[in-house]
Amino acid sequence: MIKNKNFNNIFNIWLISLIVFVVLIVFVGGLTRLTDSGLSITEWELFTGILPPLNSQEWMQYFESYKKIPQFLLLNSNMNLSEFKYIFLWEYAHRLLARFIGILFLIPFLFFLFMNILSKDLIIKLSIVFLLILTQGFMGWFMVSSGLIENTTVSHYRLSAHLFLAFSILSSLFWILLNSTNKINLLFFRLDSSYDILKVLLTLIFLQIVLGAFVSGLDAGKIYQTWPLMNESYFPDDTSFKNFFSFNQPSTTQFVHRNIAYIIFFITLYLGYKIYKKNDLKLYKIYLLFFSIIIIQIILGIFVLVTGANIYFASMHQISSIFLILAGLKLYHSSILT
């Protein structure tokens, strides 16, 4: 933990700032995907591209590069420069935020190291977080590159890895913040937790987020736009048992995503029963918050389906998943403290 208590507030403010910007970049990244903007910048531009195009010549250079990829040739061949600027600015904002988060992490981290105020354990944890941030930058480009040569969109596997890394960074920062504010050093996975069901629940939520990225990458939310049945059937009727568990199939991916949501809901109800049975008053409020977000998430997921993946509902569905993870982590952390 922090060796010098005088830096506690500064350290916590730094963590909160990082968390806010990671939440923001997940939000912008979701809109970048929903607006099909992710392939508008066809170069990695690791050390360049900090400034947006400043004149018509620079805009045309970016546009001409975009015209060479399959997404433009096969889907957007009628796009004009004004329309291109719209998708470009979403991807540009996403990349700019990524750079800013890297700087926001690195400079204060180096300052804390220089001032020798971090414990060895905290240095290791924060170094791992920084490594995840660097890996995330590479994964972002690895994802984009999958849609530049043969495909009109990015690989849904790489998209899910990109999103999973973002949530891993967010969760790590939030867990460190919880430990810091409570002046304790709790491990994430503890064998002596009285609420082991929470570990299962958090694992399923992370799995659901990965599946959600599959659904988004495959545009699986634009089929079977009915609920609770899938076109008057519990199972999708356009697939066979042989490829039922293939995550290259939009219909089966949507089916699995739906049913993991049901499992999460019922486990959450069971968790509430356990908390009530133990009369664990310290967990009541955070559990009710967590349960409320679960309900909101399910309702938004249904609206995403019945509206044909409306961008507003789809975006809110992703945002609520962020708060679901944070509430789940807070609930788990509090359960260990009790």
Alpha-carbon span 175 to 329, nearest angstrom: 7
Angle between helices 156-181 and 197-217 (to 10 degrees): 140
Alpha-carbon span 46 to 72, nearest angstrom: 24
Same-domain check for residues 246 and 332: yes
Domain annotation covers residue 163:
no
Q: Which domain holds residue 113?
A: 1-158
Same-domain check for residues 218 and 110: no
Same-domain check for residues 45 and 113: yes
What average pLDDT does the segment 21-47 reach? 89
Compute CA distances 23 → 44, 134, 156, whole Å: 23, 17, 21
Same-domain check for residues 92 and 227: no
Outline where 146-223 has alpha helix (H).
156-181, 197-217
Domain annotation covers residue 104:
yes
Amino acid at 252: T
Which residue bears the tokens 């912008």?
Answer: 28
More confident site: 60 or 48: 60
Alpha-carbon span 185 to 50, nearest angstrom: 38
If one counts the domains in the chain, the total is 2
Same-domain check for residues 210 and 334: yes
Neighbours of 123 (CB within 10 A): 13
Amino acid at 215: V
* Whether pLDDT at 273 is above 90: yes
State pTM to two decimals. Answer: 0.92
Same-domain check for residues 279 and 208: yes
Domain annotation covers residue 165:
no
Predicted confidence (pLDDT) per residue in 59-95, tens digit: 999 999 999 999 989 988 899 999 999 999 999 999 9
Alpha-carbon span 334 to 281, nearest angstrom: 11
Question: CA-based angle 33:39:41, to the nearest 5?
Answer: 125
- Grade residue 100 by pLDDT with cuts at 50, 70 and 90: very high
pLDDT score of 45? 79
Average predicted confidence (pLDDT) for the chain: 90
What average pLDDT does the segment 127-146 reach? 93
Taking phi over 0 as left and psi of -120 to 50 as alpha, with beta for the rest, 183 belongs to: left
pLDDT exceeding 90 applies to what percent of the chain? Answer: 61
Same-domain check for residues 9 and 134: yes
The answer to whether residues 335 and 193 touch, using CB atoms and an 8 Å cutoff, is yes
* Whether pLDDT at 1 is above 80: no
Domain annotation covers residue 169:
no
Domain annotation covers residue 173:
no
pLDDT score of 50? 85
Residue 6, both tokens? 């005088």
Same-domain check for residues 112 and 201: no
Q: Taking the mean position of all CA atoms in its chain, how far away is CA 47?
A: 25
Same-domain check for residues 144 and 39: yes
Domain annotation covers residue 168:
no
Same-domain check for residues 192 and 152: no
What average pLDDT does the segment 229-246 reach? 79
